[in-house]
A and B are shown apart, each in its own frame.
Chain A
Amino acid sequence: MEVVILQVFVSLMLVVGSVLLFAFTCRQRDFDHADRLALLPLEKDKKE
């Protein structure tokens, strides 16, 4: 297969995929879950 065609195809797939995944994750709205996980490293040891 012509390399340029392959490259354009792969690039388009990635762009389209990225946009759709972005829309998909925005619609999920489970940010509360991510927010809780993001706080995990901030928990301190008892003696800290």
Chain B
Amino acid sequence: MTASAEGIAPEAGRRVDGETRRIVYNDSITRWFVGASVIWGIVGMLVGVLAALQLAFWQANLPPYLTYGRIRPLHTNAVIFAFVGNMVFAGIYYSTQRLVKARLPSDLLARIHFWGWQLIIVAAAVTLPLGFTQGKEYAELEWPIDIAIAVVWVVFAIQFFWTLARRAEKHLYVAIWFYIATIVTVAVLHIVNSLSIPVFGLKSYSIYGGAKDALVQWWYGHNAVAFFLTTPVLGIMYYFLPKAADRPVYSYRLSVIHFWSLIFVYIWAGPHHLLNTALPDWAQTLGMVFSVMLWAPSWGGMLNGLLTLKGAWGKVRTDPVLKFFAAGVTFYGMATFEGPLLSIKSVNGLAHYTDWIIGHVHSGTLGWNGFMAAGMFYWLVPRLFGREQLWSKKLADAHFWIGTFGILLYVVSMWVSGITQGLMWRATDAQGALEYPNFVETLNAIRPMYWMRLIGGSMYLVGMLMMAFNLARTALAGKAVDGETTVVVERVEATEPPWAEILFGTPVILVTVVAVLAATMAVVNNEASLFLATIVVVAAILGTIAVHLAYDRTRPKWHRMLEGRALFFTAFTVIAVLAGGVAELVPSLLVTPTDAMSAEAKPYRALELEGRDLYVREGCYLCHSQMIRPFTFETKRYGDPSTLAESVYDHPFQWGSKRTGPDLAREGGKYPNIWHYRHMVDPRSVSPGSNMPPFPYLLTDKVDLGRTQDKMRAMRSVGVPYEARDIEAGRHDAEVQGAEIAKNLRDDGAGQVDPQSEIVALVAYLQRLGKHPEPENPAAHVASLAK
């Protein structure tokens, strides 16, 4: 490449002369991340296949460490952060160096980034099966690992922005914008959602509780999909797809619109994970509306990707790289069509808590992420090892077809399973009674689909193994080479950037005025709001027309100036991204839940708190929700709809997102203690046909009551109203409650039961769900015993 500086915008300053610079890229780091991604991808998907097997065949659970509740987080963390994470780092490092014509500035930082990230993955692989978890989906890792993630992410950010600072290409290609959005947003999401109070080494409580935690968690969870699984991969699409097709992106201008609309709209959509729950209606509606709006930018991006192949479709038939890219982008389109559909409240009423959501997620992850990764690896590895082509094109083709059929089998089986179960849950007879009152009936109906899913997932895994073999043979047949280029860097006499023009540019002023008016509208009463709404619309229209008329072609282009200034561009990206987060989260976090302060809400007793920790440790929330939606078919099955007050002291919240088993929000008192005891030891003894794993070790493992008071203190620090005397009496109260439950179990034929065994604590918690504590004040209880 020569004369890269051609076309530097005139507003940047006056060109004088130039120097020729040879750049050797750091491609070692790309090779490492590619290798790590392939290895962890296979591990993560192998764990996924095991989890699928466990759901179809409960005997595949290997308690205590390899039960479904413990390995499901291992699967999700491995495929998201290890497989896709390493793939994204590889793609970002490779493409960024070439797009900005600069080598990564620090090999040391690159090594710290790589090894730090792999250590984090290993830490996750060890701690999750051991039961160390924060109990928040995709954010399960405990606080020391969370801190490590933040540190490594900062190292990545320093490396990335330092590279931009040294760039020889002034203007930032659209892929770089997507990377910038990824880096800043993931940092914000991770830090805000992970805020917790450590109790000891690997135990902490989220600072948020109940609905607040739900909102923050799904703001994070949804945007982990958006900014970890989507935006960086879109950046990769915008670089590698044109590269592989050897033609420029279909419409660069569409990519500009795609970027800004996507990052602005995506961040608002989190509450669609909480539709029809106790979350305030306004937040649900916002989530739904913005989710539906996401159709437009998502499909804009998809069409831009597919249309890039215009004129190159012939190549798709013969080139496995383009096959993977074309299918990957198509799956992106399908998943982003289905997502907004599922976010419509009425559709969500049927689909939520069912396997339909699992099918939706996997069409995105296996189809979009997995296939884009495969396409990128097949394109990259020959080049990274100085080879003309892959070791075997035919094997890559075979991978494509086995992977595609695997995805289809997986997704279709989950659609059938989800819709079947959703309809069975709501089926009523002529008298209005539930047609399938026993939850297990609905589970048995979908069991064949679980086997089909297992076959589909296994086929996909076989494809991954084929890819690993093919890539390894390609690498072994070649020799590692680092790409290099020569650029003419033109020295430009710096002129003061027109900051005033940017800051006080008409678009900025217009947006500010409209935003201020809209904010005013939000805080005044209805009549005034309607009036102001009209003013806002009129101001927006007139302002835009005025800007349009006053447009001066001789002056530098506003967006072009922005593209040349990475720091400023990043600031604008942060503003666009944070707008939704702040608007949704701040009101919720500031509100004091007055209804929750009523007599209805009481903190858990000490033993119940211990039982709750066990419930979180075993990942029960992954199969059991604690949120009864206000539907007749739900209230008939589970009881009154859940209220905000009921979960206000739940740190973390346990509303759940999937019902492989029934909802437990009002489980307390439904069955005697002995039922729960037997259910834990052998679920099928009391619930024939259940696929729940057995938990026999709960009978022998003991609760460490020496730490109970520390836990209560930590809970108090996050807002749970334990009084000093409650905490002081905590251990004693736990012993008293444990003794009562153990005696009751003995009386009902369980034999000798240790009052401090984990099963007793878990029973205490389950019997508390949906009930008031009994007695209401533990300290008073202790006092009465003393008398």
Contact = CB atoms under 8 A, between A and B. Distances in A.
Listed residue (A35, A41, A48) with the most chain B CB atoms within 10 angstroms of its CB: A41
Interface stretch (B28-36, B167-175, B370-378, B633-641): B167-175
Contacts of A27: 548, 551
Nearest to B563: A37
B486 A46 contact: yes
Contacts of B476: none
Contacts of B249: 38, 41
Interface stretch (B61-69, B240-248, B348-356): B240-248
A10 B483 contact: no
A42 B551 contact: no
Contact of B548 (A17, A23, A30, A33): A23
A48 B248 contact: no
Given A1-B526, A30-B557, A30-B560, A37 B548 contact: no
A36 B7 contact: yes
Listed residue (A14, A38, A40) with the most chain B CB atoms within 10 angstroms of its CB: A40
B560 A14 contact: no
A33 B544 contact: no
Contact of B289 (A10, A20, A41): A10
B485 A41 contact: no
Interface string A1-20: 11101110110111011001
B173 A40 contact: yes
B485 A42 contact: no
Contacts of B25: 45
B416 interface: no
A42 B248 contact: yes
Interface of A: 1-3, 5-7, 9-10, 12-14, 16-17, 20-21, 23-25, 27-31, 33-48
Nearest to A45: B483
B484 A45 contact: yes
Contacts, number: 108
A39 B4 CA distance: 11
Contact of B537 (A3, A13, A33): A13
A7 B252 contact: no
Interface string B234-273: 0000111011001111001100110000000000000000
B529 interface: yes
A28 B541 CA distance: 18
Contacts of B486: 46
Nearest to A32: B7
Interface in B526-561: 526, 529-530, 533, 536-537, 540-541, 544-545, 547-548, 551, 553, 557, 560
A31 B560 CA distance: 11
Tell me the dominant secondary structure on chain A's binding face. Answer: helix
Contacts of A40: 99, 169, 173
A6 B282 CA distance: 10
A43 B529 contact: no
A24 B558 CA distance: 12
Contacts of B533: 9
B483 A48 contact: yes
B1 interface: yes
Interface string B468-508: 00000000000001011110000000000000000000000
B557 A33 contact: yes
B658 interface: no
Contacts of B98: 41, 43, 45
Contacts of B545: 20
Contacts of B383: 45, 48
Contacts of A36: 6-7
Nearest to B4: A43
16 contacts: A5-B530, A13-B536, A20-B540, A21-B544, A23-B548, A24-B544, A25-B253, A33-B7, A37-B171, A41-B175, A42-B248, A43-B1, A45-B383, A46-B483, A46-B485, A46-B486
B551 A28 contact: yes
B285 interface: yes
A20 B511 CA distance: 13
A39 B248 contact: yes
Given A7-B289, A9-B533, A47 B481 contact: yes
Contacts of A24: 544, 547-548, 551
A28 B557 contact: yes
Given A13-B537, A16-B541, A34 B547 contact: no
A16 B540 contact: yes
Contacts of B281: 3
Interface string B443-484: 000000000000000000000000000000000000001011
B95 interface: yes
A41 B544 contact: no
Nearest to A22: B257
Given A13-B537, A31-B253, A41 B483 contact: no
B334 interface: no
B293 interface: yes
A39 B248 CA distance: 6
Nearest to A16: B541
A5 B529 CA distance: 11
Contacts of A7: 285, 289
A33 B485 contact: no
Contact of A41 (B242, B253, B536, B537): B242
Contacts of B238: 41
Contacts of A33: 7, 9, 171, 557, 560
Contacts of A23: 548
Nearest to B244: A41
Interface string B16-59: 00000000010000000000000000000000000000000000
Contacts of A14: 293
A12 B129 CA distance: 50
B450 to A, nearest CB: 39
A16 B514 CA distance: 13
Interface in B290-315: 293
A13 B526 CA distance: 18
A14 B171 CA distance: 29
A1 B521 CA distance: 10
Contacts of B1: 43-44, 46
Given A1-B526, A10-B289, A41-B239, A47 B483 contact: yes
A1 B282 CA distance: 10
A17 B95 CA distance: 33
Contacts of B247: 42
Nearest to A10: B289
Contacts of A37: 171, 173-174, 252, 563
9 A-B pairs closest in CB distance: A45-B483, A34-B252, A38-B248, A38-B252, A20-B544, A43-B1, A41-B242, A40-B173, A41-B239
A26 to B, nearest CB: 9
A9 B35 CA distance: 50
A48 B249 CA distance: 20
Interface in B557-590: 557, 560, 563
A47 B22 CA distance: 13
